[in-house]
């Protein structure tokens, strides 16, 4: 019985390479899919509170302080709100952010072709995710509002806050694939150096 468990654990432990491939694919899928959605107005609308409250990004908006009056629910079309969001540069910023996210996804996927580009993708994924996690500090909408229920504020994450906190896994995954890319680059350098000798 113990030998079968040991064999099973040994077989599972040998799948570490597959785990790295899956991690790269998972990170790339998230960046490519969400990056593509940034070109849709509903996704741009949904990130408005995060961008408007961010000291790093709010300057991209024309009127970040007025966003609360112009929010719409996903799936709703309110032409007046859509017009305000257009004037606020919500959609142009979102398209720019989407382009960056698509680029990061492609860089992460490029690892088999170029370890250096793969490392750059991992680094950018890490930094981007770090910025996203900062929204937990800067965005009031990340927490359940005080509307009468006893559970509000910290530690009660809202729907948006729950989505943001999941980026801790992206942060860790980006670190792991970054380490793997760095090891690959070092291995290639040592191989080239050994070939010169």
- Condensed to tens digits (0 to 9), the pLDDT of residues 80-97 reads 999 999 999 999 999 999
* Tokens 């694939």 found at: 177
28-70 pLDDT tens trace: 999 999 999 999 999 999 999 999 999 999 999 999 999 999 9
Question: How sure is the predictor about 123, in pLDDT bands with cuts at 50, 70 and 90?
Answer: very high
Confidence class for position 192, pLDDT limits 50, 70, 90: confident
Q: What is the DSSP letter of 40?
A: S
Q: How far apart are CA 105 and CA 128, in angstroms?
A: 12
**Is a pLDDT exceeding 70 seen at residue 196?**
no
What span, in angstroms and rounded, lies between the C-alpha atoms of 66 and 88? 9
For the chain, the structural domain boundaries read 15-196
Quick: pLDDT tens for 136-148: 999 999 999 999 9
- Rounded CA-CA distance 57/7 in Å is 52
CA distance 27 to 174: 8
Q: What is the pLDDT of residue 2?
A: 82
In degrees and rounded to multiples of 5, residue 56 shows phi and psi of: -85, -25
pLDDT computed for residue 197 by the predictor: 64
> Has this prediction a pTM greater than 0.85?
yes
């Amino acid at each position: 019985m113990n030998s079968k468990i040991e064999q099973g654990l040994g077989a599972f432990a040998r799948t570490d390479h597959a785990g790295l491939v899956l991690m790269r694919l998972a990170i790339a899928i998230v960046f490519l899919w969400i990056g593509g959605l940034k070109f849709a107005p509903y996704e741009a609308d949904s990130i408005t509170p995060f961008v408007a409250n961010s000291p790093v990004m709010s300057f991209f908006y024309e009127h970040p302080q007025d966003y609360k009056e112009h929010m719409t629910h996903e799936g709703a079309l309110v032409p007046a709100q859509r017009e305000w969001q257009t004037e606020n540069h919500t959609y142009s910023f979102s398209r720019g952010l989407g382009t960056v996210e698509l680029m990061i996804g492609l860089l992460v996927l490029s690892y088999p072709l170029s370890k250096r580009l793969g490392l750059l993708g991992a680094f950018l994924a890490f930094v981007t995710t770090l910025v996203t996690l900062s929204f937990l500090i800067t965005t009031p909408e990340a927490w359940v509002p005080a509307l009468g229920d006893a559970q509000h504020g910290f530690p009660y994450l809202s729907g948006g806050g729950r989505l943001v906190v999941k980026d801790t896994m992206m942060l860790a995954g980006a670190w792991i694939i970054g380490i793997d890319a760095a090891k690959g680059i070092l291995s290639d350098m040592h191989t080239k150096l050994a070939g010169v000798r």
